[in-house]
Amino acid sequence: MFLGTRRFSYTLLIVLFSAATSVHAQERTVADGVFTEAQVESGKGVYESTCSACHRMREYRQVLRAFQNNSVMVLWDMLVSSMPADNPGSLADSEYTDIIAYILSEQGYPAGDTPLDPYNGMDEIKIIAP
């Protein structure tokens, strides 16, 4: 009973919070400098050792197209839960984040001053295809 009530209020809080943030959300996309050059550098290293055996960089143009209009968080969640295919979830949160920065950079999107962060606004950054 107690647990049930608590779960309900968490859900309610999350709903209220999402409603509040979406009202104030700026329309930001992956083209707006949403990752740093340092993340790109770090992501490149992780990508080359953990992803490049199975994937070619040019595939990601299609991937971004497939995820178009979703938030970057949706892509991040997908990577965390399913990649690398031979050992899903084996990387640190920050490594998945840096890989996304690297992929976006390789697609021509610019780096900026603010790091991409799954715990800070990633769900408000929209994916657009290059």
User: Rule CB under 6 A: which residues touch ligand HEC?
Assistant: 50-51, 53-55, 63, 66, 79, 83-86, 99
Q: What share of the chain is helix, strand, coil (3-state, %, to 5)?
A: 55, 5, 40
| Rounded-to-integer distance, Cα 83 and Cα 89, Å | 7
The secondary structure element, H or E, covering residue 98 is: helix 93-106
Q: Which tokens belong to 45?
A: 């290293």
Nearest to ligand HEC of 28, 55 (CB atom): 55
User: Residue 129 Cβ, how far from ligand HEC at the closest point, in Å?
Assistant: 12
User: Residue 118 Cβ, how far from ligand HEC at the closest point, in Å?
Assistant: 14
How far does CA 93 lie from the centroid of its chain? Answer: 10
Instruction: Tell me the residue number closest to ligand HEC, measured at CB.
Output: 51
User: Residue 94 Cβ, how far from ligand HEC at the closest point, in Å?
Assistant: 13
Nearest to ligand HEC of 25, 73 (CB atom): 73
